[in-house]
Amino acid sequence: MPEVKSIFREVLPKQGQLSMEDVPTMVLCKPKLLPLKSVTLEKLEKMQMEAQEAVKQQELAMKGAVAVDAQ
């Protein structure tokens, strides 16, 4: 491929400061760990377990009361 001549000539200063353009680059940040379950889901599961425990206790109490009545 033939080299194309540019009409602009590169000029480097002999005195003073040399400045460069800042090229924006992508900055990667640390990955954030997300909980597997949300706080709301955990609360709902806890409420459901408590309700199941209450039902089990009521069933045991009913069985106990039926057993006492049968005697």
Three-state secondary structure of 39-69: HHHHHHHHHHHHHHHHHHHHHHHHHHHHHHH
pLDDT in tens, 16-65: 776 777 778 888 888 888 878 888 999 999 999 999 999 999 998 888 77
Tell me: pLDDT of 3 over 70.
no
Confidence of residue 67 (pLDDT cuts 50, 70, 90): low
Single-letter amino acid, residue 21: E
pLDDT at 4: 64
User: CA 51, CA 54: separation in Å to the nearest integer?
Assistant: 5
State the pTM of this model.
Answer: 0.44
